[in-house]
């Protein structure tokens, strides 16, 4: 690999490691800036650079994924952990009580149809060992800052980083919903009203028929309201 190409990719990785979630438009602008440092040498496209990086990142349990924000549809580049339990992987940043709270919070945010939790309910989650409400409030703020959860319509929801890193864990729940258009998890969108049907769509994804039951699409909202 040419040295210039390697240096460019390393610069991109450093940004992803620092931010974990980057809007695709920002990533493209950043990549253009990195490439312009050596204008005499043609640069890869961002997509090609991410593909090449992933062959190395997977060896250390990481992957750069391009996903969409469920509500806005904006494309994002997420540097996700792919090895083992993503919650446990972050345990070094939290105490035992805090980690127990994070697990309880994730389970609460996976509750069918709501896929959200109010601040009051979040502060009242029962965990062992217990966490004080003040400590829980500080932890919630930290989780928002780190891109694990987000606030939407006065409630907490799983943010794109969490949906990427906890994908396998969340899909193991029988109540998990998969978009019939993009095949990503749905925690904000609609589910099919057909009897016994588990079909779902993101708000920004559209279909005339349900991919699960084949009937004309009639949806009921899921997510915060």
User: 167, 190, 212: which is the final residue of a domain?
Assistant: 167
**What integer best gives the mean pLDDT of the chain?**
90
pLDDT tens sequence across 167-196? 988 999 888 999 999 999 999 999 999 999
User: For residues 200 and 217, what is the distance between their CA atoms, to the nearest angstrom?
Assistant: 10
Residue 144 belongs to a domain:
yes
Handedness of CA 141, 155, 205, 191 (dihedral sign): positive
User: 142, 167, 192: which is the final residue of a domain?
Assistant: 167
DSSP state of 91: G
Give yes or no: residues 35 and 52 share one domain. yes
| 8 A C-beta contact, residue 178 and residue 185 | yes
CATH of the domain at 65: 3.90.1150.220
pLDDT tens sequence across 146-173? 989 999 989 999 999 999 989 988 999 8
Mean pLDDT of 80-91: 64
What predicted TM-score, i.e. pTM, was given to this entire model? 0.87
| Half-sphere exposure for 200 (CA within 13 Å, toward CB) | 22
Give yes or no: residues 27 and 66 share one domain. yes
Token representation of residue 180: 């019939």
- List the one residue out of 48, 46, 36 whose CA is nearest residue 4: 36
Give yes or no: residues 77 and 90 share one domain. no
């Amino acid at each position: 690999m040419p040295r210039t190409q390697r240096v460019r990719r390393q610069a991109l990785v450093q940004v992803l490691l620092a931010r974990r979630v980057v809007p695709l438009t920002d990533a493209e602008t950043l990549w253009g800036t990195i490439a312009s440092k050596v204008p005499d040498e043609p640069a890869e496209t961002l997509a090609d650079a991410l593909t090449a990086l992933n062959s190395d990142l997977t060896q250390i349990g990481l992957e750069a994924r391009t996903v969409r924000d469920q509500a806005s549809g904006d494309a994002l580049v997420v540097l996700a952990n792919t090895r083992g339990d993503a919650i446990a992987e972050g345990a070094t940043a939290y105490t035992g009580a805090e980690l127990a709270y994070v697990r309880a919070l994730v389970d609460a945010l996976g509750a069918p149809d709501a896929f959200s939790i109010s601040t009051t309910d979040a502060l009242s989650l029962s965990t062992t060992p217990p966490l004080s409400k003040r400590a829980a409030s500080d932890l919630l703020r930290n989780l928002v800052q780190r891109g694990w959860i987000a606030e939407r319509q006065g409630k907490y929801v799983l943010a794109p980083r969490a949906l990427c890193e906890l994908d396998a864990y969340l899909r193991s729940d029988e109540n998990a919903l998969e978009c019939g258009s993009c095949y990503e998890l749905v925690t904000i969108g609609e589910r099919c009203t057909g009897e016994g049907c588990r079909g779902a769509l993101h708000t920004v994804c559209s279909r005339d028929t349900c991919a699960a039951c084949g009937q004309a699409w009639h949806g009921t909202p899921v997510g915060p309201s």
